[in-house]
Structure 1
Amino acid sequence: MIPGMKQSGAWYRFALLLLTALFAVTLIVSPSRAQSYGADQGFLSLPIETVDIVITNPSGDQAYNAKVIDGLRRYLAFYPGDLFSENRAAFAIARARRSPDLAGITYDYALGRGGGLAVTFRITLAEGAGAERGRGYLLTSDKSDLPVLYDLDGTYVRAKFEALSLYYGNGNAWYGKPEDMLAGNPLVQGEPAGEGYSDWLEGYAHYGLYGITPLTDNFYVYGGLSGLSSGSTGRELFTDETRGYTYFEDAYAGFITGKTDEKGNRLAFNASAGRQRFTLANAFLIANTAGNGDERAALQANARWSADMVALAQLSYNSTRLEAFYVDPDELPAVDSKTKLAGLNVEARPVDGLLVASSYVTGLESEYGYFGPTGSQIGTREGLNVFDARFTYRPNLPSEPGPFLGAEAAVQTHRDIDMFATAGYAEIGYSFTDAAWSPAISYRLGYFSGDDPDTDTYERWDPLLSGGNGEQWVQGANHFKVVQDSNVIAHRIQGRLRPLPAVELVPQLWVFQADSLNNIGGNPALSFLSDDVYGYEANMTVKWFASRNWYVHGHVAYTVPGEAADDALDGEAEDWLSVMLFVRYAL
């Protein structure tokens, strides 16, 4: 028995809920089969698994075919492990269409065997010179061209429309003790979810225009402008007030330039600035660059991702990339820490299947406080230095069975205070893609240091803007809300199953422990711990990629408090159940 699971029926309740979730998901996903889907932002930001290029009308010269494919592959600069973006793909295609070798190029994507995206580009070789006819609703008045408005001679403009509707329910949220777990929280308005069952509805609509155009053969400018309207009603985690909010989401501009040599090597420079989304690598340090909930509504839908300002410069040579960034996150006014971050990131793929990378992040400005063992503030995030190194390795193609592994290590120091905090993870797994349902299983150990009150050094890890989604660094559907990525040791066993071509199941089992019994700086109700076990969670996520336009996502999560949480709540902590279902449409 794991220490802290003192309730005699805790493991039974834990296993029963996991089996119930598995059975319910099997019933839900059985009726339909589909092949392709859309992925852009938020829940649908998936890594690229494979990139295939197919010539629809290959010439008889195989060497020429190979040269075109190799040159286009390098020009597009899409690599396994990168997060997919529809805008980026469309912009790259618009530039590639100007090549005299190509008469046309399209792309599609499907769910890969390893849980990412299998992207396929289809090209048509040119048969002599000829004027490009172009496409897009403004040129053809053909509604089937939407959302493309204009696509001719490298100039590409598309409309964006995305709508999402979400249902969320909780049984005994905050372990049934919101009055303790939310004491002093500035986001609380009215009556938040707590003991018993409560639920709410929320949604958003995201709409805008994105485009790119050439100024010369090798210099393109691009930009995007969009708005987002969101709303919530019901009794959610912090409030029972009905809210609605509309504001800009994206508002950025940039340019890209580069050249490809006679061997097909691609050197490119990309720079942009404005309101836009930014994720650093795997979301371990930076992902949640905008706040949701409170007056903005759409707490669980994570409607907003764009920071107030992101300035980004990227230099890439084939698959090696160097980027410099500045991030001013769009925080909620009620909890605005006025944080501004900057840093560098370098990534390389020295051999097939291996990614090695390193990052540096520094706190330029911030009022986010660090608190010592007595509860007094000893410093802020301003002056923070973060050094990070990581790798992932998969010796086989994602479509083939085989092992995969990865690890990351990071250190935080400070220019003004004595600080040495550490964090990292190690993960190992195996994918059985040749078996029924293409199962994969992995174990990940995540570590984020706590502060030892017996030393003069401050050791509590600052989570920065870590997060992303439930398979990145949102650790536990329920438990993450209580203990985020600081002073925690998280054990995760994760599966991945494909019962149908367009349906994926992701079960997870979690054990959460504290690194230090001193938890000052975390949830005030858990500032001083009697035990190192926070709790346990079983959750199941189901994803149905019904079509390129429609996506359905749901989860069931059941969390059992450990002795640390139960003792902090005077032995009255209840098990926490949450259910969620959303439907997304994207044009």
Structure 2
Amino acid sequence: MRHIAYRLSMSLLVLASLLVSQGVYAKQPQPARKLHDESGGYRWILDIDAAFIRVDKNLFGNDRAVYGEHSDYWYESALTFGGSALWDFNLAGNIYADLAGLYTGSARYNAGVDNINNKYINRLDFYQAAIGWQSGDLFDIGRNALRISVGQQKFTLGTGFLIWNGGTNGGSHGDTWIAPNQTWRLTGLVDLAIGDDYQINVFYLSPNDSPDTRTQLGGINLEFTLDENATFGVTYIDIFDSNDKTRENTRTYAFRYNSKPLSENSLAISSEYAFQNRPNTRGDQNAWYIEPIWHFGGPANVRLSYRFASFDEGWDPLYYGGSDWGTWYQGEYLGEFILTNENLESHQARLVFNPVSDWTINVIYYYFLVHNLNRGQFANAQSRMTERSLAQEVDLIAEYHVTEQLSLTFEAVFSLPEEGGKQWSGGDELTTQGLASISYSF
């Protein structure tokens, strides 16, 4: 089986090279997705992803001293395959079932060297195995207003500030950048939508993490539509059991507001505040962000935004994920491989435009600061930190949507340490990263 998986991994990489004569390509962050077809019947799914990533002067030139190994380039590949079915029972609602597998393959150390004991990975796992009931036209508050489901599946909240990825990527699971492990190992979900104005989600979640901490959490989420372009959400999350005793009994309370632009040359807002009580560690923690987004519109559909985000020392980042570029992996290098959302502050400026209909360009700038020196993820600095300024990063991302099924992504990333970053990492050089990836959905 290992030989077959290895040959499949190499085949995926060769396929990527054939499809893109200039190189390989990347996968855009994807929203939550249901496998089953709401119109009924059966549906098959087959998705192929592959990526090649090269980094120069990793960890500002000091990765071997910090990690014990050196990373310069690596490959990632993923294959998602399966099917779904939906049976409509008219006034009794409908039942659906989703079943899918996931193959992941990666070769060589990634930039964070979190796979130091798993340099070559070939894995075959379940991706989704869930069954659910939907109310259909049973109630007069909307079609499928009530959904009840159990099993291994995706569940997300908002922009992914707290809850997005149910599975661990990297380490023994591989594929840190493609990040295909997004489903929760076990879920129990009750979703109720009352027209277009109210949405209630009651959830039980157990993550597919590595190492397996046997964590269990539950909660409730309420979403309110304020007007035609704005929503307000309230979330409560309780980690009621975990082998990681620092997480057990952690309770999180979150409030978020999001608006959409009403027209060209208009402002939108994305924001969230979360309060966390952690009785087994440092007590109460806070995390929040605010992001005004100006939509200029026009032929290039230009958008310009600024975001400030803050995460206390001792904040549990929970299960955040990538709903969009920079959200919530902050930086295609530092956020993807080096840093986590804890004891950290960040400034982000982002420009997005479409020079032609099939291309999307992102230019993203980050300035990172340490929230509290020599604490949290910065407790084991190479030398004692005396400066909060950590690093700057610039991400240049180009997406080419060749067809509805085929998309290519290319990245050029530049990351430079500030004084605090030099003290923390022990390196003082400019890190550069290049990436090309391909994603094809049959």
Give the alignment's TM-score, normalised by structure 2: 0.87
Q: Against the structure 1 CA distance between its residues 222 and 555, is the aligned structure 2 distance closer, same or farther, given a 3 Å change threshold?
A: same
Q: 2:395, 2:285 → 1: CA distance?
A: 30
Q: 1:467, 1:527 → 2: CA distance?
A: 31
2:325 aligned with 1:477? no
Aligned pairs for 1:180-579 within 5 A: 180-182=65-67, 191-193=69-71, 198-237=72-111, 238=113, 239=116, 241-259=119-137, 268-319=145-196, 320-333=198-211, 336-368=212-244, 380-397=246-263, 400-415=264-279, 419-434=283-298, 436-450=299-313, 460-468=314-322, 469-480=324-335, 481-522=337-378, 524-525=380-381, 529-570=385-426, 572-579=427-434
Report the residue type matching 1:444 in the other structure: R
Structure 1 partner of 2:5: none
Alignment check: 8 A CA contact 1:554 1:581 kept: yes
Q: 1:192, 1:254 → 2: CA distance?
A: 46
Q: Deviations for 1:4-27, whole angstroms, at most 9, x for unmatched residues?
A: xxxxxxxxxxxxxxxxxxxxxxxx
Deviation at 1:297, TM superposition (A): 2.6
Residue 60 of structure 2: SS of its match in structure 1?
A: helix
Alignment check: 8 A CA contact 2:59 2:425 kept: no
Structure 2 partner of 1:582: 437
Q: Against the structure 1 CA distance between its residues 415 and 210, is the aligned structure 2 distance closer, same or farther, given a 3 Å change threshold?
A: same
Alignment check: 8 A CA contact 2:165 2:321 kept: yes
Q: Against the structure 1 CA distance between its residues 172 and 581, is the aligned structure 2 distance closer, same or farther, given a 3 Å change threshold?
A: same
Q: Which ranges in structure 1 are unaligned for 5 or more consecutive residues? A: 1-28, 32-41, 47-82, 95-154, 184-190, 370-379, 451-459
Q: Which ranges in structure 2 are unaligned for 5 or more consecutive residues? A: 1-19
Alignment check: 8 A CA contact 1:180 1:569 kept: no
Deviation at 1:258, TM superposition (A): 4.5
Structure 1 window deviating more from structure 2 (173-182 vs 422-431): it is 173-182
Residue 565 of structure 1: SS of its match in structure 2?
A: helix
Structure 2 partner of 1:45: 30
Residue 189 of structure 2: SS of its match in structure 1?
A: strand
Alignment check: 8 A CA contact 1:292 1:304 kept: yes
Alignment counterpart, residue 156 of structure 1, candidates 22, 41, 44: 41
Report the residue type matching 2:288 in the other structure: G
Q: Against the structure 1 CA distance between its residues 528 and 420, is the aligned structure 2 distance closer, same or farther, given a 3 Å change threshold?
A: farther
Q: Against the structure 1 CA distance between its residues 44 and 545, is the aligned structure 2 distance closer, same or farther, given a 3 Å change threshold?
A: farther
Report the residue type matching 1:227 in the other structure: G
Q: 2:429, 2:54 → 1: CA distance?
A: 16
Greater strand content = 2
Q: 1:363, 1:526 → 2: CA distance?
A: 33
Report the residue type matching 1:463 in the other structure: P
Q: Against the structure 1 CA distance between its residues 551 and 225, is the aligned structure 2 distance closer, same or farther, given a 3 Å change threshold?
A: same
Q: 2:74, 2:410 → 1: CA distance?
A: 15
Question: How many equivalent pairs are there?
Answer: 411
Q: Against the structure 1 CA distance between its residues 255 and 528, is the aligned structure 2 distance closer, same or farther, given a 3 Å change threshold?
A: farther
Q: Against the structure 1 CA distance between its residues 418 and 514, is the aligned structure 2 distance closer, same or farther, given a 3 Å change threshold?
A: closer
Alignment counterpart, residue 35 of structure 2, candidates 87, 90, 95: 87
Alignment check: 8 A CA contact 2:90 2:137 kept: no
Report the residue type matching 2:43 in the other structure: R
Deviation at 1:182, TM superposition (A): 2.9
Report the residue type matching 2:305 in the other structure: S
Q: 1:523, 1:499 → 2: CA distance?
A: 44
Deviation at 1:546, TM superposition (A): 1.2
Q: 1:170, 1:511 → 2: CA distance?
A: 20
Q: Against the structure 1 CA distance between its residues 389 and 180, is the aligned structure 2 distance closer, same or farther, given a 3 Å change threshold?
A: farther
Alignment check: 8 A CA contact 1:337 1:366 kept: yes
Alignment check: 8 A CA contact 1:557 1:577 kept: yes
Aligned pairs for 1:98-177 within 5 A: 155-177=40-62
* Cα RMSD for the two superposed structures: 2.4
Alignment check: 8 A CA contact 2:92 2:138 kept: no
* Larger RCO (CA under 8 A, 6+ residues apart): 2
